[in-house]
Amino acid sequence: MVTPPGNTTAPSNSAGGTVGRGPALEYLQAVLWDMDGTIVDTEPYWIEAEHELVNAHGGSWSDEEATGLVGQSLTFSAGVLQAAGVSLSVREIIDHLIGRVTERVRVSVPWRPGARELLLALRENGIPCAMVTMSEQLLAQEVARQLPVGTFELLVTGDMVTRGKPDPEAYQLAFDGLGNSRSLDKSRVVAIEDSIPGIASARAAGLVALGVPHMVALPTDSADHEWATLAGRTVGDLEDLVQSSSPAVSSRGRKA
């Protein structure tokens, strides 16, 4: 198994107390979460930062072009911004954008409907969660700090992988990281995503892909399951989703 490099333990606010455990769950083993557009609605922050940067360099940038970067790796996005007229290196563009978005998150965390509540419910039920984002650790850690200790067992960020979404590397890294301390079956691990590249990454990694679209509609059948929102959704809903996803699980057969 691959051990994620560096400091990937998720920092969290110390408030929240001891992790409680609800009734034992029979099917759901873990949940992997995209961040931007799934846990937090930071996409407007990214788009604003992109507009500011391109305008400062005398280029032009449309909302349509910005929407086309949703879910893409930061390296890919930086290349597109260079083509739009930004005369900075890829690393300088990434650092600028992450810095601007992190500043905004520190002032106000734009939680997506139902995401925080579902994360806390998973924590209370002892279901391990990992964040899998193409944002880098500075921003991912800032979001994680806004949640109680133990909400995320680890963070997998864009600066930890060589190939961003839609490649499966990031989700595979998160699965392997959680699997270091427990036995996991991919047919019983849910990945929650809002973007087309993210869904493709999760499915390519062999996970149960749950699409919750936000800024960009998901093509029909691109995800294994699709919910319009996380608002009102429960751990029991995820348990039912996993049970219905795999014939081996739903028939009570156990995969090795």
The model's pLDDT over 18-46, given as tens digits with 9 standing for 90+, comes to 333 445 689 999 999 999 999 999 988 99
3-state secondary structure of 222: coil
> What percentage of the chain has pLDDT greater than the value 70?
86
- pTM of the full structure: 0.81
Domains of the chain, start order: 30-41+111-250 (3.40.50.1000), 43-107 (1.10.150)
> Of residues 212 and 216, which shows the higher confidence score?
212
Cα–Cα distances in angstroms (integers) from residue 252 to residues 10, 30, 184, 224, 234, in the given order: 34, 18, 16, 20, 22
Identify the CA nearest to 54 among candidates 84, 78, 74: 84
The model's pLDDT over 1-14, given as tens digits with 9 standing for 90+, comes to 333 434 455 665 53
